[in-house]
Amino acid sequence: MQVIILENPQQVAQHASEWIVELLSKKAHPVLGLATGSTPISLYQKLVQRHQQDQTDFSHVTSFNLDEYHNIEADNKQSYRMFMKQNLFDKINIDQTNTHLPTCNLIQDPRVQGMAYEDKIRNAGGIDLQILGIGGNGHIGFNEPSSSLSSRTRLKTLTKQTLQDNSRLFDSAEYQPSMAMTMGIATILDAKYVLLMATGKNKAKAVNEMINGPLSARCPASALQLHQHAVIVLDKDAASELSNQEYYIWANREHQKINQDYGFFL
């Protein structure tokens, strides 16, 4: 794991945006894995800025989102499709027919719909860079604690903690879905690179378990210990429970020259 500790959430977003911009410039048909939630909003703002100010081109990008609520219309303001449109897709020149979310309707077996999403990712050539957040309970995507480490895209029931964490986004009278379709942990591990962003003290415990804890379904993010190219970008607060911060800061400084000379990607 490459653990990068930065001063504040803005620097985390800036760093993540640099990875994406490099990928876009290097690959003829980049495939991005995208995430929703509060953390990536500032990353998407940076990408919009790059598009407006530096003409960063997204026309050749295909994207796959991590998750989507069960049985929700795309134009529902709570859908993750809507989140992506408002925060990113409508503000850049991506072809929205190439943007995918793991939707799940009531008409077809959800297991069939999950496998179809896996096929779509595979047919696109796999995900080059998967952006991730982390839940306070260590989830990635909606892979809640106890998720199989070899899970694939499927329907998951959300935990009380996740429902509580996300309730801030729903009006009191609004229906909050308790199930979601999510890429599995094995789906995430298949991405060529993963970049997890975490900011704030409320993530510090989960971040420490992900990096230093045992590989365990109790902390689904700990599965990233198995990934060959996992990049964890943290602000100081999210890194605050890590015992070996000095080493990460030093190692990152050593690596900067290599990144400058050769870029982030192999």
Residue number with CB closer to ligand PGA (56 or 140): 140
- Residue 133 within binding range of ligand PGA, rule CB under 6 A: yes
Q: How far is CA 245 from CA 13, 118, 140, 235, 250, in A?
A: 20, 37, 23, 11, 9
Give the active site residue among 15, 51, 67, 100: 67
100 counts as catalytic? no
Beta carbons of 176 and 166 less than 8 angstroms apart? yes
* Residue 137 near residue 207, CB atoms below 8 Å: no
How far is the C-alpha of 230 from the C-alpha of 227, rounded, in Å?
Answer: 6
Of 52 and 176, nearer to ligand PGA (C-beta) is 176
Both tokens of 185, joined, read 């942990």
**Per the residue annotation, which of 15, 70, 139, 227 is the catalytic one?**
139
Partnered with residue 65 across adjacent β-strands are 34
Q: Catalytic annotation on 229?
A: no
Least separation in angstroms between CB 244 and ligand PGA: 24
Q: Which of 33, 135, 184, 220 binds ligand PGA (CB under 6 A)?
A: 135
Residue 241 appears among annotated catalytic residues: no
| Contact string 163-192 vs ligand PGA (x = CB under 6 A) | ------------------------------
Binding mask 19-58 for ligand PGA (x = CB under 6 A): ------------------xxx-------------------
CA angle 142, 148, 151 (to 5 degrees): 70
Considering just the CA atoms, what is the radius of gyration of the chain in Å? Answer: 18
If one asks whether residue 138 binds ligand PGA (CB under 6 A), the answer comes out as no
Nearer to ligand PGA, 52 or 164 (CB): 164
Q: Does 134 bind ligand PGA (CB under 6 A)?
A: yes
Smallest separation, CB 198 to ligand PGA (Å): 8
Which residues are paired to 32 by β-bridges? Answer: 63, 129
Q: Is 72 helix (H, G, I), strand (E, B) or coil?
A: coil
Tokens of 231: 């990049």
Rounded to 5°, the CA angle 236-241-245 comes to: 60
DSSP state of 159: P
Nearer to ligand PGA, 36 or 56 (CB): 36
Q: Is 246 a catalytic residue?
A: no
Nearer CB in complex with ligand PGA: 30/135: 135
Binding-site ranges for ligand PGA (CB under 6 A)? 37-39, 133-135
Q: Any idea which residues carry the catalytic annotation?
A: 67, 137, 139, 144
